[in-house]
């Protein structure tokens, strides 16, 4: 759908479309051609206040949402997933339009996984339960799992719809209400989701969506005294600010899914052709704009040169271009800021002595495109080895032993993911235990599923999303002890 119908471009508060209190709007840019797609309402702290009040009212005991039968809540969430399925082409087109990812990928991956996520958590609404606990004395103990309340949710631009569903799925399944801020670069699919929420029968005030910027709307959510919990996906830098704001306000609960610099370890027994394919998937998915990207590729010394040669030939085949062209493998980066940042990292790699194998330049003169870029002879401590580039820049490091590669792979402030490519069970088991990361991929990469928990160690975040573990971000445990 080359010219998808645009959704309502206002703020969505209490099931109504409203202008920002300030009357401000901001432009949404098409990263393929750098042209303005539309202007959307720009929320700030005043709009956050209104949205939080609506969410608080919807969370009151006796409200339509709080008194809704859990089976009815399940039916409405399943209805939401069905509506997403009906509008799959439109949602995929909106993702390609303001994010720049290929339409074919948005359809097959982003929107499909988003629908799966809503359906998965719809099923949990009827299965959230506490326990009875044997305790000392003439007393009876039980636990109740209760929703946290008003949840602030701040989502990123790299997977706009998917990150929306990773947040709303468990939050709504547990019975919370939501004030969400979408990324300013990619608001369109989230705005269409508001229409689907209405159609699915989600009550007034349960889901509120604000388009806006982090320093204004995002900061106001994180520091709001009547927000009970904040969930954020984005950079580690902003994660620090979210955590500080939560602590300095009402000490609200937080969950953070932050940056990564994930190692991908190619062992000497790996099938080289398969390893090259998986390494490309690990790095180039979503144009490298993926927090768990396998962006440090450690290759065993005995196969290093052959691997790099095969990786170069594989990268040469990647087609960069229009997201709506079915043959496109890689669209533009999301905005000019990202383009500039990536090109700066490439220059840093050159200056620090890494060998540029292929790419290294902007692609074309219109749109935020970057050539698929490969660096060999990358050394520990180089900027491109240590910092999250968030672009199509693949780095190859040489290693000789497992002890060495484990130490080097763990030598990072991040710990979101890691990958292992090997046919040796003993090697796989050791690496899986000793790599400091929340998600370990073995002989595959970027395999996402709503039932599998996702999250990191160290500065890659706090808490887990998806699966049963993802519910705990949105539940309080109440202990009830009574005399018998």
Q: Of 128, 85, 28, 49, whose CA–CA distance to 334 is shortest?
A: 28
Is position 257 annotated as part of the catalytic site?
A: yes
CB count, 10 Å around CB of 22?
14
Q: What percent of the chain has pLDDT over 90?
A: 99
Query: Phi, psi (5° rounding) for residue 347?
Result: -65, -40
Query: Would you give the distance in Å from CA 125 to the centre of its chain?
Result: 23
Euclidean distance between CA atoms 412 and 224, whole angstroms: 33
Which alpha helices (H) appear in 356-484, and where do they start and end? 383-386, 402-409, 425-434
* Cα-based distances in Å from 274 to 34, 139, 282, 308: 37, 60, 12, 13
From the candidates 74, 117, 291, 385, give the one annotated as an active-site residue: 291
The answer to whether 121 touches 173, Cβ cutoff 8 Å, is: yes
Q: What percent of the chain has pLDDT over 70?
A: 100
Position 3 scores a pLDDT of: 85
Task: Dig out the tokens for 194 from the structure.
Answer: 């508001």
The answer to whether 106 touches 227, Cβ cutoff 8 Å, is: no
Beta-sheet pairing, 35-41 with 25-30? antiparallel
Euclidean distance between CA atoms 326 and 92, whole angstroms: 13
Give yes or no for residue 1 having a pLDDT over 70.
no
How much is the average pLDDT of 386-403?
98
Euclidean distance between CA atoms 390 and 112, whole angstroms: 23
Look-up: residue for tokens 């499909």? 112
The answer to whether 51 touches 179, Cβ cutoff 8 Å, is: yes
What pLDDT digit, counting tens, does each position of 32-63 carry?
Answer: 999 999 999 999 999 999 999 999 999 999 99
The answer to whether 14 touches 54, Cβ cutoff 8 Å, is: yes
Query: Phi, psi (5° rounding) for residue 201?
Result: 90, 25
What angle is formed at CA 427 by the lines to CA 411 and CA 412, rounded to 5 degrees?
Answer: 10
Beta bridge partners of 479: 143
Beta bridge partners of 146: 476
Give yes or no for residue 2 having a pLDDT over 80.
no
In terms of pLDDT, which residue wins out, 2 or 257? 257
How much is the average pLDDT of 363-370?
97
Beta-sheet pairing, 414-415 with 457-458? antiparallel
Give yes or no for residue 204 having a pLDDT over 90.
yes
Half-sphere exposure of 11 (CA within 13 A, CB side): 32
Give yes or no for residue 439 having a pLDDT over 80.
yes
Euclidean distance between CA atoms 398 and 404, whole angstroms: 10
Give yes or no for residue 215 having a pLDDT over 70.
yes
What pLDDT digit, counting tens, does each position of 276-296 carry?
Answer: 999 999 999 999 999 999 999
Burial class (CB in 10 A: 0-12, 13-18, 19+), 133: exposed
Q: Of 220, 223, 211, whose CA–CA distance to 157 is shortest?
A: 211
From the candidates 257, 385, 388, 465, give the one annotated as an active-site residue: 257
Task: Dig out the tokens for 429 from the structure.
Answer: 């088991």
Is position 95 annotated as part of the catalytic site?
A: no
- Give the DSSP letter of residue 363: -
Euclidean distance between CA atoms 246 and 218, whole angstroms: 12
Position 406 scores a pLDDT of: 98
* Cα-based distances in Å from 252 to 121, 245, 275, 463: 24, 9, 44, 14
What pLDDT digit, counting tens, does each position of 292-321 carry?
Answer: 999 999 999 999 999 999 999 999 999 999
Beta-sheet pairing, 11-13 with 16-18? antiparallel
How much is the average pLDDT of 423-441?
98
What pLDDT digit, counting tens, does each position of 90-137 carry?
Answer: 999 999 999 999 999 999 999 999 999 999 999 999 999 999 999 999
Phi-psi domain of 288 (left: phi exceeds 0; alpha: psi -120 through 50; beta: other): left
Contacts of 442 (CB under 8 A, 6+ apart): 419, 420, 421, 422, 428, 432
Task: Dig out the tokens for 303 from the structure.
Answer: 């196969």
Task: Dig out the tokens for 240 from the structure.
Answer: 């620090």
Sign for the pseudo-dihedral over CA of 92, 97, 100, 102: positive
Look-up: residue for tokens 């709307």? 217
How much is the average pLDDT of 359-375?
97
- Give the DSSP letter of residue 319: P
How much is the average pLDDT of 9-27?
98
Give yes or no for residue 159 having a pLDDT over 90.
yes
Euclidean distance between CA atoms 378 and 361, whole angstroms: 18
Q: Of 247, 254, 278, 274, whose CA–CA distance to 264 is shortest?
A: 278
């Amino acid at each position: 759908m080359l010219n998808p119908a645009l959704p309502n471009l206002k703020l969505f508060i209490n099931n109504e479309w409203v202008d920002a209190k300030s009357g401000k709007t901001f432009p949404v840019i098409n990263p393929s051609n750098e042209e303005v797609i539309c202007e959307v309402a720009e929320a700030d702290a005043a709009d956050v206040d209104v949205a939080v009040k609506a969410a608080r009212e919807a969370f009151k005991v006796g409200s339509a949402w709080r008194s809704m039968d859990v089976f009815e809540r399940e039916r409405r969430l399943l209805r939401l997933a069905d509506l997403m399925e009906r509008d799959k082409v439109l949602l995929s087109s909106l993702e390609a339009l303001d994010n720049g990812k290929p339409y074919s990928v948005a359809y097959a991956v982003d929107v499909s996984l988003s629908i799966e996520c809503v359906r998965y958590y719809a099923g949990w609404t009827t299965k959230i339960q506490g326990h009875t606990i044997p305790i000392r004395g003439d007393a009876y103990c039980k636990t109740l799992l209760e929703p946290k309340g008003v949840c602030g949710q701040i989502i990123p631009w790299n997977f706009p719809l998917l990150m929306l569903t990773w947040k709303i799925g468990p939050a709504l399944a547990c019975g919370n209400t939501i004030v969400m801020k979408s990324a300013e670069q990619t608001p369109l699919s989230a705005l269409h989701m508001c229409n689907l929420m209405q159609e699915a029968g989600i009550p007034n005030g349960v889901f509120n969506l604000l388009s806006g910027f982090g320093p204004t709307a995002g900061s106001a959510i994180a520091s709001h005294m009547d927000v009970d919990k904040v969930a954020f996906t984005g950079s580690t830098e902003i994660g620090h600010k979210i955590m500080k704001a939560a602590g300095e306000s009402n000490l609200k609960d937080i969950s953070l899914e932050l940056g990564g610099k994930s190692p991908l370890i190619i062992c000497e027994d790996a099938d080289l052709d398969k390893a090259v394919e998986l390494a490309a998937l690990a790095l180039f998915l979503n144009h490298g704009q993926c927090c768990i990207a396998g962006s440090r590729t450690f290759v065993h010394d005995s196969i290093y040169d052959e691997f790099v040669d095969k990786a170069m030939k594989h990268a040469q085949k990647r087609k960069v271009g229009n997201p709506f062209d079915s043959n496109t493998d890689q669209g533009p980066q999301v905005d000019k800021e990202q383009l500039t940042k990536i090109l700066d990292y490439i220059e840093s790699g050159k200056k620090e002595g890494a060998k540029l194998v292929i790419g290294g330049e902007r692609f074309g003169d219109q749109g935020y495109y970057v050539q698929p870029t490969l660096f060999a002879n990358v050394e520990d401590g180089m900027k491109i080895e240590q910092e999250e580039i968030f672009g199509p820049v693949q780095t190859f490091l040489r290693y000789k032993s497992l002890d060495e590669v484990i130490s080097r792979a763990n030598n990072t402030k991040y710990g979101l993911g890691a990958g292992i490519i090997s046919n040796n069970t003993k090697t796989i088991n050791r690496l899986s235990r000793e790599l400091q990361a929340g998600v370990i991929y073995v002989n595959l990469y970027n395999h996402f599923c709503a039932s599998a928990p996702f999250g990191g160690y160290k500065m890659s975040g706090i808490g887990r999303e998806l699966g049963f573990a993802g519910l705990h971000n949105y539940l309080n445990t109440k202990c009830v002890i009574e005399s018998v």
